[in-house]
Every structure is written in C-alpha cells, then in structure tokens.
Amino acid sequence: MGQFDAIGKEISWCPGCGNFPILNALKSALEGRELKPRDVVLVSGIGQAAKLPHYMIANVFNGLHGRSLPVATGIKAANPGLTVIAVSGDGCMYGEGGNHFLHAIRRNPDITMIVNNNMVYGLTKGQASPTSPLGLKTPIQIEGVTEIPFNPVAIAIAAGASFVARSFAGDADRTRKLIDMAIGHKGFALVDIFQPCVSFNKVNTYQWFKDNTYAIEDSHDAGDPMAAMALALREDRLPLGLFYRREGRSSFEETLPAFRRDKRPLYDRPMDLSRLRKLIDKKRTAR
C-alpha cells in the first residue's frame, strides 16, 4: 500500500466504474514523484468524480458544484510550494464550472485539472452533460441529445492553455504518464480522461472507447497549436495523448506582487499589525 492510499475507506462507486483506474493512476503518479501527502492538495466540486479525493490521504477541499478551479487557484497563490490538483467530472468542470475553466486558462495558475469525463451526470442518475454525444438518450433527454457536445480539448487549446492532454481510463499506463507530465508542467494543465459510466451511459462503454480512440503519433509536434487543434477537432476517431504544451509562460502566482521580493508562503510570514491598527484608528477618528 502506498502513502496516498486511504486504507479501510468504503468506496461508493459502482463496480466497474471508470473512476477506479483514474484514482489508481493519480495515486501512482504522485507516488512516482515521491510527493508527500502533506504537500498535495486535492480540490473537487460535486459529483461521483468529485468523491475521488475522499479515497486518498492528502489535503482536501471539497467545495461547491463547479467551483473547484477558483479555490485551487487561491490555494496555489497562498502557498506556491504545494502541488494542487483540481479533480471532478465533466458536468462539474465544464457545465457549472465552465466560466471558471476559461478564466483559469487565462490566469495560468500552476495547477493540474483532471476531468473524469463520462459524458453524463452520474451522481444524479444520468442526465446529459455538456460532453454528451448527439443522440444520446437519457432519462431526461428521452428523444436524444440535440445540443452540440462541448469540446474541452479544442476550447482549452483555443483559449491558450499551456498543457492539454486526453486519456482513457481503460489505458492505465497512458493515464498515469499524462497525469505525471501534467503535475510536472509549470502552469495550467488539463488532463481530460474518458471515464466509462457503467450504470448510466450504455453507449460510451469501455469497448466503445477502445474502438473509437487511438494514440497520438510520436511525430506530432506538441508545440504547434494548429496541429494540436487539428487533432482536437477530429470526430471520426478520438486521439489520446499530449495535444499541446507551451513552456516558459509565467504562472499566475509568479505574477503576484506578494511574491516578487518574498518567496515564502503567506502563512509563513511575520504579521505586521501596525498598518491595520492605523487604518482602524483612522476610521474611528473619521466617525
């Protein structure tokens, strides 16, 4: 057992759920980097995928639906020495959290965003999510989904994300490697992971993903955004691997004035209350 394993925790996911291999891949990637649980923060929202941090030993912030990215950004800004990972599902991250997704890309905090993408709302019994394919029938969309699916990989590349990758939960080795690369990348890193929902999505199964995905060739230039976008827009078969990576861009926390002269995290700095007292006294005098 590894140091990130929450021994004895009862896991509430359905047997065969694609969340299990993603959980194992994340723990393996963290172990491989020889990180300590005290130095890792997992931030999640609401949903079955958002329960993932509950089944690990690490620091955890479980917040509101779709709000994991602003919290993760704030945690990293307050203590840049931490390894911060936001993890949740496609509904939480791309639906309720869609606006935060776009603006986290703009800010480029040094955090990893892992999305367990099963193309349905698994916690609330299988309604269509932003990534549900056209025609998918659900308990709510009884005649099939009519909205164009959200393409997170293409959106991330177009918005300027500095690391964009996609994997499949059934490919444990590739998933672990991409998560490891994302954690090691300085800046905002998206890892979108196809995660079969065995209970509520009977179309996008393990076999469907095996038949409809392929590995990005080694010859692909991950530094070319146009080549990355061409891959992201493919619809016949879905590429897996590293689409795009841009090095050298300053992370959000590096741009903050608070860290220009003093690299210590905010909690580790001496507190000078004199200015606060002066401000309070000034307000009292003004009354």
> What whole-number distance in Å separates Cα of residue 141 and Cα of residue 212?
24
Counting Cβ atoms within 10 Å, is residue 214 exposed (0-12), middle (13-18) or buried (19+)? middle
Number of domains in the chain: 1
In a domain, 63, yes or no: yes
Range of the domain at 125: 19-257
Question: 284 vs 246, which has greater pLDDT?
Answer: 246
In a domain, 263, yes or no: no
Mean pLDDT of the chain: 94
Nearest to 90 by CA among 190, 207, 10: 190
Counting Cβ atoms within 10 Å, is residue 54 exposed (0-12), middle (13-18) or buried (19+)? middle
> What whole-number distance in Å separates Cα of residue 44 and Cα of residue 116?
11
**pLDDT at residue 266, rounded to an integer:** 80
Residue 232 has pLDDT above 70, yes or no: yes
Counting Cβ atoms within 10 Å, is residue 272 exposed (0-12), middle (13-18) or buried (19+)? exposed
**pLDDT at residue 145, rounded to an integer:** 92
In a domain, 264, yes or no: no
> What whole-number distance in Å separates Cα of residue 283 and Cα of residue 84?
39
> What whole-number distance in Å separates Cα of residue 17 and Cα of residue 117?
12
Instruction: Using pLDDT thresholds of 50, 70 and 90, give the confidence band for residue 272.
Output: confident
**pLDDT at residue 138, rounded to an integer:** 87
Instruction: Using pLDDT thresholds of 50, 70 and 90, give the confidence band for residue 260.
Output: confident
Residues 6 or more apart in contact with residue 20 via CB below 8 angstroms: 11, 13
> Average pLDDT for residues 176-184, to the nearest whole number?
98
Question: Which tokens belong to 148?
Answer: 């164009």
In a domain, 286, yes or no: no
Instruction: Specify the CATH number for the domain of residue 59.
Output: 3.40.50.970
Counting residues of the chain whose pLDDT is more than 70, the rounded percentage is: 99
The residues with which 61 forms a beta bridge, in sequence order, are 43
Residue 282 has pLDDT above 90, yes or no: no
Question: 214 vs 138, which has greater pLDDT?
Answer: 214
In a domain, 133, yes or no: yes
Residue 234 has pLDDT above 90, yes or no: yes
The residues with which 88 forms a beta bridge, in sequence order, are 115
**pLDDT at residue 1, rounded to an integer:** 66
In a domain, 128, yes or no: yes
Question: Contact at 8 Å (CB) between 122 and 48?
Answer: yes
> What whole-number distance in Å separates Cα of residue 196 and Cα of residue 120?
10
Counting Cβ atoms within 10 Å, is residue 117 exposed (0-12), middle (13-18) or buried (19+)? buried
Residue 43 has pLDDT above 80, yes or no: yes
In a domain, 50, yes or no: yes
Residue 178 has pLDDT above 90, yes or no: yes
Nearest to 90 by CA among 4, 174, 201: 201
In a domain, 158, yes or no: yes
Q: Which own/partner pairs from 6-9 qualify as long-range (CB within 8 Å, at least 24 positions apart)?
A: 6/54, 6/55, 6/56, 6/57, 9/54, 9/55
**pLDDT at residue 152, rounded to an integer:** 98
Give 103-162 pLDDT, tens digit per residue: 999 999 999 999 999 999 988 888 999 999 999 998 889 998 999 999 999 999 999 999
